[in-house]
Structure 1
C-alpha cells in the first residue's frame, strides 16, 4: 500500500508539472489569466490655431519704386499710385481680415541705373530683389507654420512679379515651407523671367520673352547700364506642381516681359529694356492686355472666385 501511494503521488506531481509546462509554452503560467488588451494611448493634442489665422492669405508684392522697407504691410503708404493697390484694396473691402488676410511685402524696390543721378544712388536690382524675396518668404513661412489650415495666393507686379514667380518655382518644386497643395494660385504681371508655354497666359498672346531671359547673353552690357542686375535666364523647373495655377499676364510690346529675342534688337534697346516704358506703366487701364477687362480687374475676379470656393 505504501508503495502504491508513492507511485500515485509521483504520477500526480508529474501531471502537474506537464500542465505547468504546457501553460508556460502557451504564454501564461498556471492559474494566471491572459493579459487583457490595453486601450491605445490618446493622441497628443494639436494646439488650436490662433484666432487671427485666416482661411486665405493673399500676399502682394509691389513693383520697382512702389514700396519701401518700412511700409505698413496691411495699409501700404509708400506709393499711393502703386499698381498692386488696385488689386489689394478691392479684396480688403470684399473680405474680413479674419477670412482673407491681405499682406503687402515691404521692401526697398529699387533698380540702380547709371543713366540718371537718382538711379546711381539706388539699391541694385539684385539686392532689392533678394530683400523682397526674403521678406516675402519670412511672412509665408511664419503663417504656414502658425496656421496649418491657411491657404495662400501670391501676386506681384514687375520686380514683384519676378519675386512671386521665383517663390512659385520654389513651391512647385517642393523647395519651400509652403507645400504645393496649399498654394491656390500665383499671378505674375509683367514678369521679367516669363517664358512662352510656362504657366498660363489668360490674356493676349505675346511672342517675346522676359528681359532677364532675353538679356542673359548680353549680361556684360546689362551690368554696364544697371550695375548689380544679374540676368538669370529662365527658372529651372518652371512652376512644377503649381503650373496649372501660375498665371503670366503680359502686355504686348512691354519690354520687361515681351522683350525681343534677336540679339541685334536687344543690343540696340539694352537701356530701354532695363527701364519701365510707357506700356509697362499702363497695366491698371490697358484694355489690350486681357480682352474685355484689365489686368487688375481680372486678378481680383479670379482671386474672389478661388477664395469663395474654399
Structure 2
C-alpha cells in the first residue's frame, strides 16, 4: 500500500508488480481459445502466439513491437498503385512503422478501413496495390505532464514526412508506381496542402501530377464549400478552417472529397469570422495540465507574434489600404505556421517600432479608414456563428465525423469507405494490365479436345457496382440511430 507521503512502500510495489504479471498471464489464458483459432498452430507454438506470448498480447493493444504487415500489401515492391495514407489526430506516432496495421487505440487507424480491403479486393493480382501510413505525431498539444507537439506542429510534420516518403519512393520505383493520396481529418489537411503544391509543379518536377493517380480527402477542414462528395452532391457548407475555392492546378480532376452533412470539419457554416483565427492560435499552443503556466506563456507568445506579423504586413504593403484583403485575412494567414515556406523570421523589434510609429503617425488615417470599412462587415463575417448551436452541429458533428467507415457491417448502407475502395481499385485496374476478358463458355469440340478455359471475374465482391443507391446520408439524431440499427430515443 502507499504511504502517507504518496510513495509506494516496498510491499506495495511488490504487490503491484505481482498484480501486473498476474493480469498479463490471465490475459494470455483468456485469449488462448480465440487466438489459437486465428493464428497458425505448430508444435513449437501450441497457442499460435509467436515467440513471445506477452509481446503478442501487447501487440493486440498496439503496445508491442511486432510489425503486423498485411499479406496483400506490396508497398516495398514498387506496386502499380501505392496508397499513401495519413490518419487523423491521436492516431499515429512519429516513429510508427509505415506498414504496421496494429491500431494505436481501439478506435484508431480509420484509414485502414480503406487500405486493407483494397488489398483484399486485388489479392488475385500480386504487386498491383500497396499502402503506407505516414508516421507523424498527430497531436493537439494536449498532455498531462510533458508537452507534446501542437496541432500545427503535427500538421507540418505530417506534410513534410509524406512529401519525403513520396519523393524517396519515386526515386526507388521511377514511373512504375503511381500514388493515391488518402487523408482523413487532420491528415486530410496535410494531403490538401500537398495537393495544392503538386498541382502547381511543372511536369519536369521529380514528383508531378503525372505521378498522382488520385487524391481522397475525408472530413477535410479545407474542403471548398459545396463540392461534391464522392461524385454525388455534397453538403452546402465547407471546411471550418477555410471554405474558399482553391487552385489545385493539374490535380483538379483527380481530387475526391467525402463529407457528411453536419460534419463541422468539412460542412461548417460559411461566415464564422474569428473562429478559424482562434483555432489557428490554439493550434500553436501547448495545453499541459500540470503546467498551466506554459499555456499562458504560449498564448502570450502566439498572440504577440500574430500581432507583430500583421502590423508588419500592413506597414510593408502600400496597397493594403485600398485592397479587398482585411486585417482578419492577414491575421489568418500569418497565424498559420504549418507550411514549410512559413519559416520567415518575425519582425525585429526595430521593425515593430517603425511599424507602430507609422500606424500612429503618417499612416494613422490609412489604418483608421481601413478599420472603419472592415467594422461595417464584421457582423456579416460572423453572422453564421449562432448556427453552431441553432442547428445540430454540436450534437451530430463529432458523430458524423466518425461515420465514414464500414465499422457497422450488414446494415444495408454503402459506406464512404466502400466507395473509396471501389474508386481506388478502378484506378489500380486502369494503371495495371487490362483485366482478363471473360470469354463465353464454348462446348467441347467434337473430337473430344478440351474446351478453352473461362476466366472468372476479378474480385466481384468489391468491383461490382453497389446496389441501387436508395439510402440517404443521416443528418438528424433519428436518422443516425436508424443507420446504425439502434432504436430511437425514448418517446420518439
Please give the TM-score of this superposition, normalised by the length of structure 1: 0.66
Matches within 5 A, 1:80-119: 80-81=106-107, 82-93=109-120, 94-95=122-123, 98-112=127-141
How far apart, in 2, do the equivalents of 1:87 and 1:55 lie?
17
Q: Report the alpha carbon displacement of residue 122 of structure 1 after superposing the two structures with TM.
A: 4.0
> Which of 380, 388, 404 is 1:283 aligned to?
404
> Which of 173, 176, 184 is 2:213 aligned to?
184
How far apart, in 1, do the equivalents of 2:162 and 2:265 lie?
22
Contact preservation (8 Å) 1:199, 1:245: no
Residue 60 of structure 1 aligns with which residue? 85
Larger radius of gyration: 1
Contact preservation (8 Å) 1:67, 1:79: no
Which string of whole-angstrom CA distances, capped at 9 and with x for unpartnered residues, describes residues 197-240 of structure 1? 667752442111101116xxxxxxxxxxxxxxxxxxx5752x21
Residue 303 of structure 1 aligns with which residue? 424
How far apart, in 1, do the equivalents of 2:129 and 2:220 lie?
25
Unmatched tracts of structure 1, length 5 or more = 1-50, 215-233
> Which of 127, 142, 167 is 2:168 aligned to?
142
Unmatched tracts of structure 2, length 5 or more = 1-75, 272-381, 432-492
> Which of 171, 184, 192 is 1:165 aligned to?
192
Contact preservation (8 Å) 1:158, 1:191: yes
> Which of 176, 180, 187 is 1:153 aligned to?
180
Residue 156 of structure 2 aligns with which residue? 130
Which string of whole-angstrom CA distances, capped at 9 and with x for unpartnered residues, describes residues 15-55 of structure 1? xxxxxxxxxxxxxxxxxxxxxxxxxxxxxxxxxxxx93222
User: Secondary structure of the residue that 1:148 maps to in structure 2?
Assistant: helix
Contact preservation (8 Å) 2:86, 2:183: yes
Residue 385 of structure 2 aligns with which residue? 266
Contact preservation (8 Å) 1:203, 1:250: no
- Please give the root-mean-square deviation of Cα atoms over the aligned residues, in Å: 3.1
Contact preservation (8 Å) 1:169, 1:235: no
User: Secondary structure of the residue that 1:147 maps to in structure 2?
Assistant: helix
Matches within 5 A, 1:38-77: 52-77=77-102
Q: Report the alpha carbon displacement of residue 100 of structure 1 after superposing the two structures with TM.
A: 1.8
Matches within 5 A, 1:24-43: none
Residue 254 of structure 2 aligns with which residue? 245
Please give the TM-score of this superposition, normalised by the length of structure 2: 0.43
